[in-house]
Amino acid sequence: MAADGGRWSIERLNGENWMTWKFQMKHMLLVKELWNVTTGTEVLPNDANDAARADFNSRSQKALSSLVMSIDPSQLYLITSCEVAREAWDILKQHF
């Protein structure tokens, strides 16, 4: 993981670097406070109001975008049908 002017970057998931990528991706998402949304340990309560629902959905989309942008194009086929970060993370864990 390298810092570039306040931005962090990691080597994209290429099919051969799962263990390193997974570790760095976890910590990137932790810094962004998106890890719990990605793993499903934070879920949207059934009685959430509109503001809470919008916030949760926004964070889930940010997490999904972070995953997508950190994956080599050759591996994107695995998660192109995913709508939320947790689904993408689970597919990647299962595949690798």
- Is 65 contained in some domain? yes
Please count the residues of the chain. Answer: 96
Tell me if residue 29 falls in helix, strand or coil.
helix
Q: What is the pLDDT of residues 44-93, one digit of tens each?
A: 999 999 999 999 999 999 999 999 999 999 999 999 999 999 999 999 99
How many domains, the chain?
1
- Is 64 contained in some domain? yes
- Is 2 contained in some domain? no
Helix or strand (DSSP H, E) at 39: helix 35-39
- Is 63 contained in some domain? yes
Report the alpha-carbon distance of residue 54 to residue 64 in Å, rounded.
15
Q: What is the pLDDT of residues 18-42, one digit of tens each?
A: 999 999 999 999 999 999 999 999 9
Match 């975008």 to its residue by tokens: 65
* Averaged pLDDT for residues 1-13: 71
Domain hosting 91: range is: 13-39+49-95
- Confirm whether pTM is higher than 0.95: no
pLDDT at 6 over 80: no
Confidence (pLDDT) at 9: 81
pLDDT at 5 over 60: no
- Is 86 contained in some domain? yes
- Is 78 contained in some domain? yes
pLDDT at 1 over 70: no
Distances (CA, A) of 19 to 11, 25, 39: 12, 10, 16
pLDDT at 2 over 90: no
- Is 8 contained in some domain? no
Instruction: Determine contact, residues 88/82, Cβ cutoff 8 Å.
Output: yes
